[in-house]
């Protein structure tokens, strides 16, 4: 799915990092099981253990069922991958499966480390609207605190699409099921103790349009709670800004100067082989020794790739100093892309031609993690 790569990466790395923290025994990442020839066989595996980060410095011994796991719950068409917009009718089925898993796992953990008493989750964290909807139902059924991360908000997307003027409100709703998504986000707001955002802008300019949140009233409620004064039954989730992090354990720094000359003395390890994408990128550049500006985003208007290319093209000192690399997802041909993605890519190509950036901008067709 062209619209889930970044979010999936974020959630998987978050689960792995949480599972490596002292005091956290187990993290279960619940998602959909897909057994289809159109996707990799691993998506059909019911359980997958995430490789833990370095355990150095942790004094606590890990147990039999500790760590981070991807738990794939079967719901919806068993042999078919379906886009997120079409998952809504199947959410109750997912919640039932997730609830069964939680109950079963609580008994298992209770027998292993709880002295025979069930061990329930400390918190349930929903990511994106559909998972927020599911987490709200699970939180209520289990009486467990809920956290929510929206990643992308429906009301903001609706406004952006309406401003583009390409589709009517009804057409947008038919394509993106946007009203159902907004309904799920409102439910998530009502059920959450904490809502995690990546920027303050998301709070002040996006969440503020939801019925369940008002930034001014939220601050007043927090102040009254701190003073131990009655809020007259009013409640709003606490908004917390946590910018996304970066996992560096798989990045191997190279010893060398700006010209790419590596130190081959005996005190240094041999230089690892270049990644496969390296030759794909370098073939674009007239001077591949220059430093690289790297941008990774799918070709979507809101990612603002065209503005980056325009700024690069209009700044001669920057062009003399560095090359620009654009990783814009995977594609075979422009004609095979969605109309929106194709439009962005064509705009990028036109800007490259307008500013004569040939030999200075790379835009490879394929990449792998």
pLDDT score for 352: 95
**Is 40 in the same domain as 134?**
yes
pLDDT score for 270: 46
Please compute the mean of the pLDDT values over residues 232-238 and round it to a whole number.
87
DSSP state of 50: P
pLDDT level of residue 355 (50, 70, 90 thresholds): very high
**Is 127 in the same domain as 215?**
yes
The percent of residues above 90 in pLDDT, for the chain, comes to 56
Model confidence over 280-292: pLDDT tens digits?
899 999 999 999 9
Query: What range defines the domain where residue 348 resides?
Result: 277-362
pLDDT level of residue 331 (50, 70, 90 thresholds): confident
**Is 12 in the same domain as 144?**
yes
- Domain tally, the chain: 2
pTM above 0.85, yes or no: no
**Is 43 in the same domain as 88?**
yes
pLDDT level of residue 195 (50, 70, 90 thresholds): very high
Please compute the mean of the pLDDT values over residues 140-163 and round it to a whole number.
93
Please compute the mean of the pLDDT values over residues 211-237 and round it to a whole number.
88
Flag whether 269 is in a domain: no
What is d(CA 193, CA 190) in angstroms, rounded to the nearest whole number?
A: 8
What is d(CA 302, CA 6) in angstroms, rounded to the nearest whole number?
A: 14
**Is 201 in the same domain as 281?**
no
Residue 321 maps to which CATH number?
A: 3.40.50.2000
* 60 compared with 238, residue with greater pLDDT: 238
**Is 287 in the same domain as 214?**
no
pLDDT score for 320: 94
What is d(CA 20, CA 108) in angstroms, rounded to the nearest whole number?
A: 20
DSSP state of 256: B
pLDDT at 203 over 50: yes
Flag whether 193 is in a domain: yes
Residues composing the chain = 369
What is d(CA 16, CA 13) in angstroms, rounded to the nearest whole number?
A: 5
> In this structure, what token pair is assigned to residue 94?
């997912």
Closest CA to 236 of 215, 265, 206, 263: 215
pLDDT level of residue 166 (50, 70, 90 thresholds): confident
Burial 15-45 (b: 16+ CB within 10 A, else e): bbbebbeeeebbbbbbbbbbbeeeeeeebee
Model confidence over 248-268: pLDDT tens digits?
776 766 655 444 454 444 444
**Is 314 in the same domain as 220?**
no
* 339 compared with 348, residue with greater pLDDT: 348
Query: Taking every pair of C-alpha atoms in the chain, what is the biggest distance, in angstroms?
Result: 71
Model confidence over 86-115: pLDDT tens digits?
999 999 999 999 999 999 999 999 999 888
pLDDT score for 249: 72
Q: How does the average pLDDT of the chain come out, rounded?
A: 87
Three state DSSP letters for 98-151? HHHHHHHHHHHHHHHHCCCCCCCCCCEEEEHHHHHHHHHHHHHHHCCCEEEECC
**Is 178 in the same domain as 35?**
yes
């Amino acid at each position: 799915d062209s619209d889930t790569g970044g979010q999936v990466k974020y959630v998987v790395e978050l689960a792995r990092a949480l599972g490596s923290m002292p005091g956290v025994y187990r993290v279960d990442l619940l998602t959909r099981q897909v057994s289809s020839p159109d996707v990799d066989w691993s998506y059909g595996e019911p359980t997958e253990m995430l490789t833990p980060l370095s355990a150095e410095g942790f004094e606590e011994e890990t147990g039999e069922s500790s760590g981070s796991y991807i738990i794939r719950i079967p719901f919806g068409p068993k042999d078919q991958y379906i886009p997120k917009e079409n998952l809504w009718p199947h959410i109750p089925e997912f919640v039932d499966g997730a609830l069964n898993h939680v109950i079963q796992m609580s008994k298992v953990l209770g027998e292993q480390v709880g002295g025979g008493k069930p061990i329930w989750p400390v918190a349930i964290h929903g990511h994106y609207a559909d998972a927020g909807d599911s987490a709200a139902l699970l939180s209520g059924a289990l009486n467990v605190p809920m956290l929510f991360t929206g990643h992308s908000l429906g009301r903001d997307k609706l406004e952006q699409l309406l401003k583009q003027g390409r589709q009517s409100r009804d057409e947008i709703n038919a394509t993106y099921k946007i009203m159902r998504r907004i309904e799920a986000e409102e439910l998530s707001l009502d059920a959450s103790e904490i809502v995690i955002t990546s920027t303050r802008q998301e709070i002040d300019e996006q969440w503020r349009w939801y019925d369940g949140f008002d930034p001014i009233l939220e601050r007043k409620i927090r102040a009254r709670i701190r003073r131990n004064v009655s809020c007259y039954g009013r409640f709003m989730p606490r908004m917390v800004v946590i910018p996304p992090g970066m996992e560096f354990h798989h990045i191997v720094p190279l010893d060398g100067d700006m010209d790419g000359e590596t130190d081959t003395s005996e005190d240094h390890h041999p230089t690892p082989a270049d990644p496969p994408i390296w030759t794909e990128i370098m073939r674009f550049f007239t001077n591949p020794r220059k430093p690289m500006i790297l941008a990774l985003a799918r070709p979507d208007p809101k990612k603002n790739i065209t503005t980056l290319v325009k700024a690069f093209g209009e700044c001669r000192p920057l062009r003399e100093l560095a090359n620009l690399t654009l990783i814009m997802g995977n594609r075979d041909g422009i004609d095979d892309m969605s109309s929106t993605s194709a439009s962005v890519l064509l705009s990028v190509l036109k800007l490259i031609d307008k500013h004569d950036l040939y030999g200075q901008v790379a835009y490879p067709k394929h990449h792998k993690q």
